[in-house]
Each structure stands twice: as structure tokens, then as C-alpha cells.
Amino acid sequence: MPGEYDVEFVERGDREARFLVRGATPAFANGIRRAMVADVPTMAIDEVRFIENSSVMFDEQLALRLGLVPLTTPPEGEFVEDDVVTLSLDVSGPATAYSRDLVSGDALVTPAEENVPIIELKEGQRLEVEADARIERGQTHAKHQGGVAVGYRHLQRVEVVGDLEEFEDEESRIVRGVIEDEGELLNAEEFDNDLAKRYPGKEVRVEDVPDAFVFHVETDGSFTVEELVTRAADSIEARADELEEAVQL
Amino acid sequence: MELRVTESADTELSIEIGGEDHTFMNVLKGALLESDDVTTATYDMNPEQSGGQTEPILTIKTREGVDPLEALEEAAGTVREKTTSFRESFEAAA
């Protein structure tokens, strides 16, 4: 029976979130995770023209650094492959060139992180470049990865099964991720990852909840977590559509 | 996505799905196995360095009287329904 998912947020922010998905098969959960890492396209600098580089680093080294600066990625469909956004940077020493010094030709594509140092320039050194950003998938280069830390764990159900014997030593019982305690979701960090602290003097049983996955998603700032997850689902859907059509022919 | 049938029989099909990797193939395989009409579904993929067949090859065996190509079409539909339903649930929670 397809569908019937149940999603619940445990923690949420723009760039980092934790949410529970119930009713997913391991294959589906992993498909979504992999799509978030390698298939959701983001903007990144791909070509750099150096007008002046009197810094201590080679052009190639600086080009790599510029490529790794995360850029905000416009809404789906706004850009297609081979569309180019030009950014320029002009910094004279003594100063440090930061990602915020990149001036974009398009308000939709700007550095997502302002304080990425690119290079420290000394007196008399200057860096002037023009860079083209392109939209690509993480598969081609890690700089196009929108999801930087994406993973999931099973939800764990904790049950109190009895009391510890009166004079028994309390041993710490470490768990990670998110636990479910009588329907309540709780990040294990809240009790120091130690069940002995949350249930002192109790004997507890921990078991994985089948088909319930707690995703932890962190983006590089190209877009929000919600955007990343929906785009990952879209990317799998687009392929399913394509396959269905191709088979019909 | 380029499809190329490598082996075909009444209830058995091997098909190369060009340009895909584990991300989609495993989801698709999972969807195929959920169907009662499908008895076997698997895919084989080799690493780029192997120098041989690197595109995934999907192999499906179906119950008597069921066209494997139709089972594949149905599974693609299942995957689409799954993603749609997942997105809806996610957006509702977000």
C-alpha cells in the first residue's frame, strides 16, 4: 500500500532540522536521503576569469575556493542547466577578501554565507575576478551539494519494564537520536544521551520502531531544509514519471 | 533515461535503465517487490572502474500471465504516488 506517510518535526530551523517520517520503507527513506545529497541541484561558481591576481596563491587554488562558497539557489524552474549568473569580486590589500565581497548580477543568487575567507591580501596585492555560477547536481561536484549533513536513524521506543533492584549499581545506558516515550518524541541529547538519567532506578527496554525514520537534515544555506526535502521528492518523482512514459512507448 | 531491453520472455524481463543509480533503482526495486504480481525484482550495477556494464540492469520475474513490462509501469506509478504522498505529508507538517 503506497503512501500514508506521517511526518512530524522534532526540531526545525532554516538550515537544520530533525523530523520523523512514519510509514516509509528503508528503500524509500534511503532514496530520499540520497536524492538530497547528490540530486538536488544548487548554484556554485564554475568558471573564473582572473583580471588581476597578485596574491600569493595560484589562480586555480582561488578558483576552487570560490567554487566552494555556497550560493543561494533560486526557486525550482527559475534556472536551467547552462544558465549563468556572473559574480565579481575586487579587493585590494591590505585586506582579506571574504565571500561577502562577491557582487552578484542577480539578486536571487548571492553568497549564502558572508564570512567565508577567500584569501588574505597584503599591501600592494590585489584580486579582481569575474566568476560564472551554474546550476548543477551534487553528483558532478561536491560544491553543488545542497545537503551537507543528511542522515536518518530509526526511531527508538523506550519502555519502562520494572524497577532496578534496591542496591544494584546504576549503569549508564547511552542512546542516540530520538526516542519515543509514551507517544512523546524526545531528542536523546536532552537527557545527556543517558537513559539512566531520565529513568533513574528503572529497568528500561529499547527497541527500534519499524518503518519510522528520524531524518536529520542540514543544508549549506543554498535553500531551506523544507526546500531541500521537497526538491528531493520532486527529483525522484520526475524520474518515476520519465520511466512510466518511456515504458508506455 | 534510456531504456534497453536485454532479455525478454513471457514472465521475465531484463532491462537496462541508462543514467540512473542506486537512488532511483533501489526505490523502484522496493516498489516492484510490493506488488503481488512480481515474484522477483533485482538490479545489478557495477562501479565505474569495473570497465564493463556500468548502467543498472533491472531484472523482473512475474507471476504467470502478468506482463513484466506492465508490472514495471505499475511500479513507476507506485513510486510517483509515494513521492506525491510523502511531499504532501511533509508540507502539511512543515
pLDDT at B94 over 90: no
| A247 is a domain residue | no
State the pLDDT at residue A213: 94
Asked if B68 and B60 touch (Cβ cutoff 8 Å), the reply is yes
Please state the domain count of chain A: 2
Where does a domain end: A103, A120, A139? A139
Does A248 map to a domain? no
Which stretch of A46-60, A115-129, A163-177 has the lowest confidence by average pLDDT? Answer: A163-177
Shared-domain flag, residues A129 and A87: yes
Q: Which of residues 70-89 of B touch A (CB under 8 A)?
A: 72-73, 76-87, 89
Q: Which domain holds residue A102?
A: 42-139
pLDDT of A51 > 60? The answer is yes
Provide the pLDDT for residue A130. Answer: 95
Flag whether pLDDT at A162 surpasses 90. no
Task: Report percent pLDDT > 90 for chain A.
Answer: 63
- Residue type (1 letter), A69: V
| Cα dihedral sign, A130-A134-A140-A146 | positive
How is residue A17 written as a grid cell?
532540522
Give ipTM to 2 decimals: 0.91
Mutate to test the interface with A, among B72, B82, B85 (most CBs of A within 10 A): B82
By CB neighbour count within 10 A (0-12 exposed, 13-18 middle, 19+ buried), where does B48 fall? exposed
Buried-state track A124-156, b at ≥16 Cβ within 10 A, e below 16? ebbbebebebbbbbbeeeebbbbbbebebbbbb
Query: Considering the domain boundaries, does residue A245 fall inside one?
Result: no
pLDDT of residue A48: 95
Asked whether residue A77 carries a pLDDT value surpassing 80, the answer given is no
Establish if A242 belongs to a structural domain.
Answer: no
- What CA dihedral angle connects A85, A103, A88 and A142, to 10 degrees? -60
Q: Are residues A173 and A232 in the same domain?
A: yes
Q: Is A3 helix (H, G, I), strand (E, B) or coil?
A: coil
pLDDT band at A72 (very low <50, low <70, confident <90, very high): very high
Contacts of A247 in chain B (CB under 8 A): 3, 69, 72-73, 76
Q: Where are the beta strands (DSSP E) in chain A?
A: 6-12, 16-22, 42-53, 85-92, 95-98, 103-104, 117-121, 126-136, 147-163, 178-181, 184-187, 202-219
The answer to whether residues A54 and A128 belong to one domain is: yes
Give the model's confidence band at A1: pLDDT under 50 very low, under 70 low, under 90 confident, else very high: very low
Residues A75 and A61 in one domain: yes
Sign, CA dihedral B60-B62-B65-B71, equals negative
Q: Are residues A71 and A58 in the same domain?
A: yes
Of A91, A116, A139, which residue constitutes the final position of a domain? A139
Last residue of one domain, picked from the residues A106, A139, A172: A139
Instruction: Based on the fold, state whether residues A93 and A105 are members of the same structural domain.
Output: yes
Distance from the B38 Cα atom to the nearest Cα atom in chain A, whole angstroms: 15
pLDDT of residue B84: 93
Does residue A167 have a pLDDT over 90?
no
What would the 3-class secondary structure string for A56-100 be?
CCCHHHHHHHHHCCCECCCCCCCCCCCCCEEEEEEEECCEEEEHH
Closest partner CB to A230 (pick from B20, B24, B91): B91
Distance CA A24, CA A45 (A): 36
Domain CATH for A133: 2.170.120.12
Q: In a 10 Å sphere around its CB, with 0-12 CB exposed, 13-18 middle and 19+ buried, how is residue A200 labelled?
A: exposed
pLDDT, mean over chain A: 90
Contacts of residue B38, defined as CB under 8 A and 6 or more positions apart, other chains included, come to B32, B60, B61, B62, B63, B66, B68, B71, B75
Kindly report, residue by residue over A6-21, the tens digit of the pLDDT.
999 999 999 999 999 9
pLDDT value at position A2?
44
Q: Are residues A60 and A120 in the same domain?
A: yes
pLDDT tens per residue across span A90-112: 999 899 999 999 999 888 899 99
Do A119 and A52 lie in one domain? The reply is yes
User: Residue B85's pLDDT band (boundaries 50, 70, 90)?
Assistant: very high
CA A184 to chain CA centroid, nearest Å: 26
Residues A193 and A220 reside in one and the same domain:
yes
pTM of the model: 0.88
Cα B73 off chain centre by: 9
Round to whole Å and give the CA distance between A219 and B81.
26
- Calculate how close chain A gets to B29, using CA atoms only, in Å: 8
Give B18-55 pLDDT, tens digit per residue.
889 899 999 999 999 999 999 999 999 988 888 888 89
Q: Is A239 close to B1, i.e. CB distance below 8 A?
A: yes
Please give the average per-residue pLDDT across A188-207, as a whole number. Answer: 87
Report yes or no on A177 lying in a domain: yes
Find which of A1, A30, A227, A236 to mutate to test the B interface (most B CBs within 10 Å of its CB): A236
Would you give the DSSP letter of residue A169? P
Q: Does A1 reside within a domain?
A: no
Same domain, A24 and A73: no
Residues of chain A contacting residue B34, judged by C-beta atoms under 8 Å apart: 2, 25
The identity of residue A52, as a single letter, is: E
Same domain? A49 vs A35: no
Residue B93: the pLDDT is 86
Domains of chain B: 2-93 (3.30.1360.10)
Q: How confident is the model at residue A200 (pLDDT cuts 50, 70, 90)?
A: confident
